[in-house]
A and B are shown apart, each in its own frame.
Chain A
């Protein structure tokens, strides 16, 4: 059964702690992404990776770090430098559909991790 898994589903953190959110995919997708969603808002891009051992900052990277050591895995660390980390975090992956299909990379999303800072 192919898909994207995120763990844990719920995470509670004390102020000043770093926490790592897991994202794994078995879809053989090249690109992976991390988003943050705040209540009543759209998604904002934190980091993305187009290939193993390479990643780029998105629109709101401050206070976050990532690694991409394996194609299947793209963990996100929320550091103590992130001032307001309570949010819903979504991981996604994408694969190029090919020139004939239209040159696009549709993103598919994992189930999300809800992080609460106590």
Chain B
């Protein structure tokens, strides 16, 4: 059974600081997704990571994937209040075919609060 663990689960940080959220998973996969969720809202796709060593950046967020270590990181640079949200990583355990769809196992989420 695939397990996905995020840490920390709660993160309170000051504006301008840097921090990293970690996502560990238990079985082989090379497709990992990061999502953002604002309170009471749905999930918004942030990054798709598809191979070992993949790195994606958007604004103050950068995500990376190490498939050998079964680890993905989401790095926050110079945090601002607008980044306050819950961040989820999700690992795909489906096959690599057009008809596979995807089978995501989600981490518990990291609730990020950025304080002025």
- Which A residues lie at the B interface, using CB under 8 A? 30-31, 33, 40-45, 48, 50-51, 58, 90, 94, 96, 102-112
Which interface residue of B41, B103, B104, B111 has the most chain A CB atoms within 10 A?
B104
For residue B94, give the distance in angstroms from its CB to the closest CB of chain A: 7
Chain A residues, Cβ within 8 Å of B35: 109
- Is B66 part of the contact surface with A, judged by Cβ < 8 Å? no
Whether the pair B41, A104 counts as a contact (CB closer than 8 A) is no
Give the segment of B14-22, B43-51, B69-77 that binds chain A.
B43-51
> What are 12 A-B residue pairs whose CB atoms fall within 8 Å in the complex?
A31-B102, A40-B108, A43-B43, A43-B104, A43-B106, A45-B103, A45-B104, A50-B100, A104-B50, A107-B33, A107-B45, A111-B42
Q: Is the CB of B42 within 8 A of A107?
A: no
Question: A106 → chain B, closest Cβ, in Å?
Answer: 6
**Considering only CB atoms, which chain A residue lies closest to B1 in the complex?**
A59
- 12 other contacts beyond A42-B4, A94-B102, A107-B102, with CB at 8 A cut-off? A30-B99, A30-B101, A31-B102, A40-B111, A43-B90, A43-B106, A94-B101, A104-B31, A106-B48, A107-B45, A108-B45, A112-B41
Which residues of chain A come closer than 8 Å to B108, judged between CB atoms?
A: 40-42
Report how many residues on chain B are interfacial, defined by Cβ distance under 8 Å: 31
